[in-house]
Amino acid sequence: MLNVIEFDIRTQICPATLLIALKEINNHSLQLEDGTVKLIFLTDNRDALTTIPESVANMGYSVNVTKNESCYSIEVYGGEQ
Amino acid sequence: MDNLYAPIIGICLVLGLLTGAVMYLSDFCVAGMFRDLFLLRRSVMLRYLALLVVSSMILFELARQMGFLPLYPFPLLYSPTPANLIGGFLFGTGMVLAGGCVVGTLYKIGSGSVLSATAFIGLVAGSGLYAEIHPFWAAFVRSTTFFQGKITIPQILGVDPLLPILLVSVFGLYIIRLWYKDRKLVRLSYAKGYLQPWKAALLLSLIGLSSYALIGMPLGCTTSYTKLSAYFGSIFFKEHLNGLSYFHAVPLKYVQPLTGIRLQGGPGPVFDVISAIQFPLVAGIVLGSAASAAWLKEFRISFGAPLRQYVSAISGGIIMGLASRMAPTCNIWHLFGGLPILAASSVLFLLGLFPGAWLGSRIFTGLVMKK
């Protein structure tokens, strides 16, 4: 069963957004690799829409970004989804 | 307010609006460029700064050759001193802690960031605090200035600027061409309406040229922060502020190229040509960014970050404001204006920025992000 974990990292100072995201991705690396977890980061930081997807791709995970009404949602997942 | 300031105010407001929009859309964060080098071992954004410097260098020299830059070097640039290096170092630390430089803070305020507004309060306070140490610092600057009367490297070498500018530009263009060929200038971003930073760099160099040709100097805004602190300070400590020599200084005396009128200005709480240039620029940057954010439906008054980040923002702002007076002047002045004409003080400021940003990154990860 897929476990979806959401992190609201809006309003954070640069570069806290990226650092928090990287920390949480590392904390959940095993679950991401076996496809049991999907992480969602809510952010209003435009810079993070470049740096998080770039870092996630370098770590070998997949990323999907959508714009919501008040922020962006960055989905990070691994395995077959 | 005299009518003679009207064209200056109008031009600076427009330049500010354009700067704010360009910086917001491309997220052209100079603090991030230096910070990420140490924090993430990522130098990608520094490429765009290099592109901005090289393109400004070429544009400024072309304009000078065509007679559009009667003030060369531009006013408020001085001979080199270790103060530039020390100021750059402190500025680098401050901008990382504040989460943006003197202009980055403005365009982030435009998008509704309360953290950046906090950093701005620190900037204004720090700029004003400098007045307390000015006599001591000015004496240090006087006693350590070298190449007295020479501002740019070509002046120090005793040669016409054309040859050194040409050599640096050709080398710079060669490196930029390599980045272009390796597709290292294009960034993938999921941000709506994203403006590629290489385009932003070119646009900002055009804005800088317009400012230099029309106003007589490139973009700069930190003296207005000192003025703001003097205005607010004089409400509560009028007598004390009157006794501070810094607020009576009038460092800018020049013939404004557009009007041909001799104008002057300084950091004191009076309306002068610095007010006419920098206040509209500051307002324009905030409004240009706010309009862009609103257009993209991204404007939102945002607060709720951990208290530690607010402390970081205000501390960084204070350090940056103080450093911008000690250097003297800020990163935008030195990097977007001074480096393109090979000002020796700007080279020293840049050299100070790197270790300063390193220290800021260490403090940020060690104290601000610590659980």
* Domain limits, chain B: 3-368
The complex's ipTM works out to 0.93
Q: What percent of chain B has pLDDT over 90?
A: 94
Q: Which candidate from B190, B303, B365 shows the least CB-CB separation from A11?
A: B303
Q: Could B302 and A16 be called an inter-chain contact, meaning their C-beta atoms sit closer than 8 Å? A: no
pTM: 0.96
Residue B360 pLDDT more than 60? yes
The pLDDT-based confidence of B255 (bands split at 50, 70, 90) is: very high
Full residue range of the structural domain in which residue A23 is found: 3-77
Give me the CATH number covering residue A53: 3.30.110.40
The pLDDT-based confidence of B68 (bands split at 50, 70, 90) is: very high
Residue A9 is classified by DSSP as: -
Report how far residue B178's alpha carbon sits from residue A58's, in angstroms, rounded to the nearest whole number.
23
Q: What percent of chain A has pLDDT over 70?
A: 96
pLDDT at B258: 83
* Residues in chain B closer than 8 A to A40 (CB atoms): none
Q: CA quadruple B271, B273, B275, B280: dihedral positive or negative?
A: positive
- What average pLDDT score do residues B161-188 get? 96
Write b or e for each residue in A49-71: b if 16 or more Cβ atoms lie within 10 A of its Cβ, otherwise e. bbbbbbbbeeeebbbebeeeeeb
Q: For residue B108, what is the nearest residue in chain A, using CA coordinates? A: A45
Summarised one tens digit per residue, pLDDT across range B314-342 is 999 999 999 999 999 899 999 999 999 99
B171 near A CB under 8 A: no
Residue among A14, A26, A56 with most chain B CBs within 10 A, to mutate: A14
Mean pLDDT for chain B? 95
In this structure, which amino acid lies at residue A57?
Answer: A
Tokens at B139, concatenated: 């004496």
Number of domains in chain A: 1
pLDDT at B2: 58
The pLDDT-based confidence of B29 (bands split at 50, 70, 90) is: very high
pLDDT at B302: 80
Summarised one tens digit per residue, pLDDT across range A7-57 is 999 988 888 999 999 999 999 999 999 999 999 999 999 999 999 999 999
Report how far residue A71's alpha carbon sits from residue A45's, in angstroms, rounded to the nearest whole number.
8
Q: Which candidate from B24, B39, B115 shows the least CB-CB separation from A13?
A: B115
Distance from CA of B355 to the nearest CA of A (A): 18
pLDDT at A41: 96
Q: Which candidate from A14, A15, A44 shows the least CB-CB separation from B298?
A: A44
A46 near B CB under 8 A: yes
